[in-house]
Every structure is written in structure tokens, then in C-alpha cells.
């Protein structure tokens, strides 16, 4: 899927451990520079013993930093510049992928002004900024949450009606594979499990070229690159968690499944990058602790599309992409076998995944010096992970009118279902209106750091909303994207598990294939536009006008814009 904005039982290793030399070596002559240590993810061949794989790694000059034994994936450091060629043909090894390098921030590191540049450069979710300021509360229903009138997405899915029959079960666990979750947010805390939450990432101060990524460790709130599992220094994961399970507590917003339990299984950097090893670790952890549903609003970096035989790619790049496909799929298979329903955002590239397209965004992260993105022709055989993985429910986005959002990726056979993710141009006159995005919780610490609330705690921008109950206040942010659609579908999946599942030894006890069948079978059939195509017109604040035409293929009950239809909570639980 495209970057949607757009994981964690093991504590993240210290930065110093990951950048240490791979093995002892004779002292170098004083005229030579020290060998550079690089980091790789190595995939063991299925059926090979861990001992044989680790012998192969050692023989190629590598040192194993950690291993996910369930999937057969190891993080390896090495000073051998020819490590890939030395190991790739070993019978115990299936693949090798370059991993990101984690280093200490130098004294000259840039101040973290653009810490989220990676997300904002690749996504459209924050494009909701710039609409009319001020939000009245309208004529909300007496029994609803205070900001219910701003939650048009709940109406589109008939969530309030569904809550008369099912609000979720606290024994149902929903894993948030994202940038973290602010577990202290007053509209998340009641449903947040700090005990089960984990962080599988370590912040990256700068990349291999010295460019700012997550920012200097000393600038973090905890002055550390190892964040606890109840914080979110990006805001993306908190929005996702809130959309799924903000409680009915007379504060702020309501989640789709307001009584289920949220588990932060962090796989994403502060900056919005998601790498292979954290993704694999997060998925296996979700399976091991009995998570029932996970939401994955991201793609695995650094390749938006992974191709195994693209002529534009070097042999090493092809091997890396093949490794990402195989390792991620193993982890998805593992979680699925353990009873996890897997939900993923379709992507924000406004492209048909079933057609040949052009992509110029990958590789999007300079794991090693000299790497840069380049233009490739992408046939349908190339795979974006995890959204195109087996057992994964891929979700496209709709706007308030139910049209497919202008940015949402699509494709007949790619999209499984649709859900509201917002479209700020789905308005009369096609002009921007922030309230046509979706609203969910936002960490107060981020709002203050970004200058989005003043010294009195009042919002200074139109895309941040405040709500208080007694002396407790919560902040909420408008975002749009398939990242926002996916958790709303995941929330309906959590209601399905709550309604029909049975508590078991591993998870609540509902087969994820049955959850998917009900989710699809109860979705509201939504036809392609008349004539099969839709032309989007957007009048931008700059005065420019942008148009684009997307073609929808398929019939009423299954097509490229909506899949099996727009998810419907009421039908799902009745």
C-alpha cells in the first residue's frame, strides 16, 4: 500500500549495540579509516535449521543482533562490504535486505523542525488543513458523545445504531501496528492495555547521509531514542487507535468499538517509516498474545512496490524486495494461523493497483550512503506489503458523500472493502473543507510542540478540536487518508469478534476467515460511478484547479472502488 499518513514484545536494542562492529578484527593501520558497520535483515530458508543459518551468517562476516525464531528472520550487523554476495547463495538462506542504520545524533544534528517530513511528503492525510475555522456542536443526539455531530463517518457506517446491539467486549484485543499510541489520552486511556503494549522500534536521529529522520535523542520528551510503549510522537497511531476504540465516556469522540481493548504494538518510527524487522516482530507478537484484530496503516519501507524481476533494479535491490515479500508474508501467515484478523489501508497514491503504473518514490530511505529513489515502471506483479499480502483485508477510502476519496488507491481484485477515511474536497464546489476529513484523538504534547494550541490550551488551527469534561480536556485532529479508513473497518471487525466470538486460549476465539466473510458479506453494496469513471475536481487554496479521472471496474457487489462495499456496523452485528 502507499504510505498512508500515512511493532513489540521485545525491548528495542540500544543504539550503541546496533552500531557496534560486527566482530573483532586485527587493529587497522593508522592510515586507514575504520570499517563501516552495516545492518541487514536475513531471512532463513524454510526448513533450514537456525544453527545452519547462523553459521552461514558468521561465515559471511556477520553477527546476529536478534532473531525472530517464529518467522526465521535475523537482524545482522557486518563490516564485510560484500556481505550480500557472500551469503545470498547459501542453502540455509532465503533472502537478504539492507536494514536502516541507527546512530547516535551528532552535536551538529538539525533541530527537529521537520521530524514528520517523510509522512507529509508522501501522503495526503494532512491536506485537510486550511478549511473554515470554528466548529459548532449542532444538534447532536442526547445519548451521543460531545463531538458526535462532527463524526459523519459513524453515520456512514451506522455505528451509533450498531451500539444499541454491540459496543465491543473488553476481552477482544485490537493491535495498533503504527507509530505508537498515546495511552494517557483521556479518550483512549480507559481502553488501553499498557501491560500488553510493546515498542519494537528505536528512534533514528539521522540517516546514513546525516539527514534528520526522527530527530536528536536529547530532544525527545524522555531524552531517549527508546520510547516507552504508551507514547506517540507522531500522532498517526493515536488517531488510528481512537477511531477504533475511543470509549463512550461523555468526552470527545466515539470509537467504532468503544469497549474493546487497545494494544499498542509499535512498528513505525516517529517519522512514519516502517521497516521489515519491526513489522515481522509486531505481527508475531500479536499472534502470540492472542490479539484478535490488527490494523496496519502503512507499507513496509523502503519500497512502496516490491518487484522481484524489475529490469530497473540492481540484483541486490531485487533480492531485498523479494526478502521483504517473503518475510512479511511469513509473519502475516503466522498471525493469521494464531487467529488474528489482518486489516490494512489500501494506499493514498490515487492509482489502480491492477494496472501498470510508474513510481518514483522508492527506495524512500537511505539505509546506506548513496541510495536514492528512481523512476520505475511497476507492473501488477509487483507487491506492496502488507496490503497485498495473503489473508489481508485491504480498505479503500470514502468521503462524506460516499464517493471514493480522490487520493485513495483502488483496483478490482485489490480492494476488499471501503470505509470512510475523509475527502476534504468532497464538498459543494469542490473546495477544501477540513470538516470533511475524519476526527479522532491527538496527543496534547504534540499539539503543544507544534504550536497548534496556545498557552491556555486553546486550538490555534482549524484542524485541531478541544473538548473538556469537568477538569479533563482532550484534543482531536482532523486527518484524511486510507490510514483513517482502515481502522474504521478494523473497528467493525472488532465488533464482529465481540458479537460472535468465543473466548479461547489464544484470542477471543473467532476464525479470521469468518470475520472477513461477515465483514464483506454485510458491507453496503456500492456501485461504480455512472459510465464507470469519475473525474475529480479540486479547487486548491492557491487558486489552482486539479482534475483527475479514475476508472472503476466491476459490478454492484464487487468493484475496484469499493470492493464488496462500504462496511456497515449495524448489519455486521445484527
For 37-48, how does the pLDDT look when each residue is reduced to its tens digit (9 = 90+)?
Answer: 888 999 999 999
How far, in Å, CA of 341 to CA of 332, rounded? 10
Q: Which pLDDT score is estimated for 544?
A: 96
Q: In the predicted model, is pLDDT for residue 510 greater than 80?
A: yes
How far, in Å, CA of 154 to CA of 551, rounded? 27
What does CATH list as the number for 20-25+35-98? 3.30.70.80
504 pLDDT tier (thresholds 50, 70, 90)? low
Give me the numbers of helices (H) and strands (E) for the chain, helices first please: 13, 20
Q: Residue 412 CB: number of other CB atoms within 10 A?
A: 19
DSSP 426: -
Q: Check if the beta carbon of residue 357 is closer than 8 Å to that of residue 410.
A: no
Nearest alpha-carbon partner for 317 in 306, 326, 328: 306
Nearest alpha-carbon partner for 298 in 118, 477, 446, 563: 118
For 142-175, how does the pLDDT look when each residue is reduced to its tens digit (9 = 90+)?
Answer: 558 999 999 999 999 999 999 999 999 999 999 9
Length of the chain: 574
4 pLDDT tier (thresholds 50, 70, 90)? very low
342 pLDDT tier (thresholds 50, 70, 90)? very high
Q: In the predicted model, is pLDDT for residue 374 greater than 90?
A: yes
Q: Which pLDDT score is estimated for 114?
A: 37
Q: Residue 534 CB: number of other CB atoms within 10 A?
A: 17
CATH superfamily, domain 117-525+559-573, is Peptidase S8/S53 domain (3.40.50.200)
CATH 3.40.50.200 residue ranges for the chain: 117-525+559-573
211 pLDDT tier (thresholds 50, 70, 90)? confident
Mean predicted confidence (pLDDT) in 273-282: 95
For 78-113, how does the pLDDT look when each residue is reduced to its tens digit (9 = 90+)?
Answer: 999 999 999 999 999 999 998 865 443 333 333 233
Residues 6+ apart with CB under 8 A from 120: 126
Please identify which residue in the block is written with the cell numbers 453494496.
Answer: 525
Q: In the predicted model, is pLDDT for residue 507 greater than 90?
A: no
More confident residue, 44 or 120: 44
More confident residue, 546 or 26: 546
Nearest alpha-carbon partner for 64 in 30, 87, 91: 87
DSSP 47: T
For 456-482, how does the pLDDT look when each residue is reduced to its tens digit (9 = 90+)?
Answer: 999 999 999 999 999 999 999 999 999
254 pLDDT tier (thresholds 50, 70, 90)? very high
Q: Which pLDDT score is estimated for 203?
A: 83
CA quadruple 422, 179, 486, 327: dihedral, nearest 10? 140
CATH 3.30.70.80 residue ranges for the chain: 20-25+35-98
How far, in Å, CA of 322 to CA of 334, rounded? 18
Amino acid at each position: 500500500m502507499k504510505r498512508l499518513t500515512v511493532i513489540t514484545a521485545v525491548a528495542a536494542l540500544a543504539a550503541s549495540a546496533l552500531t557496534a562492529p560486527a566482530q573483532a578484527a586485527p587493529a587497522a593501520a593508522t592510515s586507514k579509516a575504520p570499517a563501516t558497520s552495516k545492518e541487514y535483515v536475513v531471512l532463513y530458508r524454510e526448513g533450514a535449521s537456525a544453527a545452519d543459518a547462523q553459521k552461514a551468517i558468521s561465515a559471511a562476516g556477520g553477527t546476529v543482533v536478534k532473531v525472530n525464531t517464529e518467522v526465521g528472520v535475523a537482524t545482522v550487523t557486518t563490516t564485510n562490504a560484500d556481505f550480500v554476495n557472500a551469503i545470498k547463495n547459501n542453502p540455509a538462506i532465503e533472502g537478504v535486505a539492507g536494514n536502516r542504520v541507527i546512530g547516535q545524533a551528532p552535536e551538529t544534528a538539525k533541530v527537529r523542525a521537520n521530524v514528520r517530513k517523510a509522512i507529509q511528503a508522501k501522503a495526503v492525510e494532512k491536506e485537510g488543513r486550511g478549511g473554515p475555522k470554528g466548529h459548532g456542536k449542532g444538534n447532536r443526539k442526547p445519548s451521543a458523545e460531545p463531538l458526535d455531530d462532527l463524526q459523519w463517518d459513524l453515520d456512514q457506517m451506522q455505528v451509533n445504531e450498531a451500539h444499541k446491539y454491540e459496543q465491543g467486549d473488553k476481552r477482544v484485543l485490537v493491535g495498533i501496528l503504527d507509530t505508537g499510541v498515546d495511552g494517557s489520552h483521556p479518550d483512549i486511556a480507559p481502553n488501553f492495555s499498557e501491560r500488553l503494549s510493546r515498542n519494537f522500534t528505536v528512534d533514528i536521529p539521522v540517516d546514513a547521509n546525516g539527514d534528520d529522520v526522527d530527530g536528536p535523542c536529547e530532544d525527545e520528551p524522555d531524552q531517549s531514542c527508546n520510547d516507552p510503549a504508551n507514547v506517540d510522537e507522531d500522532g498517526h497511531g493515536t488517531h488510528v487507535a481512537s477511531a477504533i476504540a475511543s470509549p463512550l465516556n461523555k468526552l470527545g469522540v466515539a470509537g467504532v468499538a468503544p469497549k474493546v481493548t487497545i494494544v499498542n504494538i509499535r512498528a513505525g518510527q516517529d517519522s512514519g517509516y516502517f521497516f521489515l524487522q519491526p513489522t515481522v516482530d509486531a505481527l508475531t507478537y500479536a499472534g502470540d498474545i492472542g490479539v484478535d484484530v490488527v490494523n496496519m496503516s502503512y507499507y513496509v519501507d523502503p519500497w512502496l512496490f516490491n518487484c522481484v524481476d524489475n529490469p530497473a533494479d540492481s540484483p541486490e535491490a531485487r533480492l531485498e524486495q523479494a526478502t521483504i515479500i517473503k518475510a512479511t508474508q511469513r509473519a502475516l501467515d503466522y498471525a493469521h494461523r494464531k487467529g488474528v484478523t489482518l486489516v490494512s489501508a489500501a494506499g493514498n497514491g490515487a492509482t489502480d493497483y491492477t494496472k501498470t503504473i510508474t513510481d518514483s518514490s522508492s527506495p524512500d530511505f537511505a539505509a546506506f550512503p548513496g541510495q536514492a529513489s528512481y523512476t520505475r515502471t511497476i507492473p501488477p506483479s509487483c507487491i506492496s506489503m502488507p496490503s497485498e499480502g495473503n489473508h489481508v483485508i485491504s480498505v479503500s477510502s470514502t468521503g462524506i458523500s460516499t464517493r471514493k476519496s480522490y487520493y485513495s488507491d483502488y483496483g478490482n481484485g485489490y480492494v476488499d472493502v471501503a470505509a470512510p477515511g475523509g475527502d476534504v474536497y468532497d464538498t459543494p464546489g469542490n473546495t477544501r473543507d477540513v470538516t470533511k476529513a475524519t476526527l479522532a484523538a491527538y496527543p496534547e504534547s504534540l499539539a503543544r510542540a507544534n504550536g497548534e494550541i496556545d498557552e491556555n490550551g486553546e486550538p490555534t488551527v482549524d484542524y485541531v478540536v478541544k473538548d473538556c469534561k469537568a477538569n479533563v480536556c482532550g484534543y482531536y485532529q482532523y486527518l484524511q487518508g486510507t490510514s483513517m479508513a482502515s481502522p474504521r473497518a478494523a473497528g467493525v471487525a472488532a465488533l464482529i469478534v465481540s458479537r460472535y466470538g468465543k473466548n479461547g486460549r489464544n484470542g477471543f476465539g473467532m476464525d479470521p476467515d469468518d470475520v472477513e466473510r461477515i465483514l464483506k458479506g454485510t458491507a453496503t453494496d456500492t456501485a461504480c460511478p455512472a459510465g464507470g469513471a469519475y473525474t475529480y475536481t479540486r479547487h486548491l487554496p492557491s487558486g489552482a484547479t486539479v482534475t483527475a479521472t479514475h476508472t472503476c471496474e466491476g459490478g454492484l457487489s464487487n468493484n475496484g472502488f469499493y470492493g464488496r462495499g462500504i462496511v456497515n456496523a449495524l448489519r455486521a452485528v445484527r
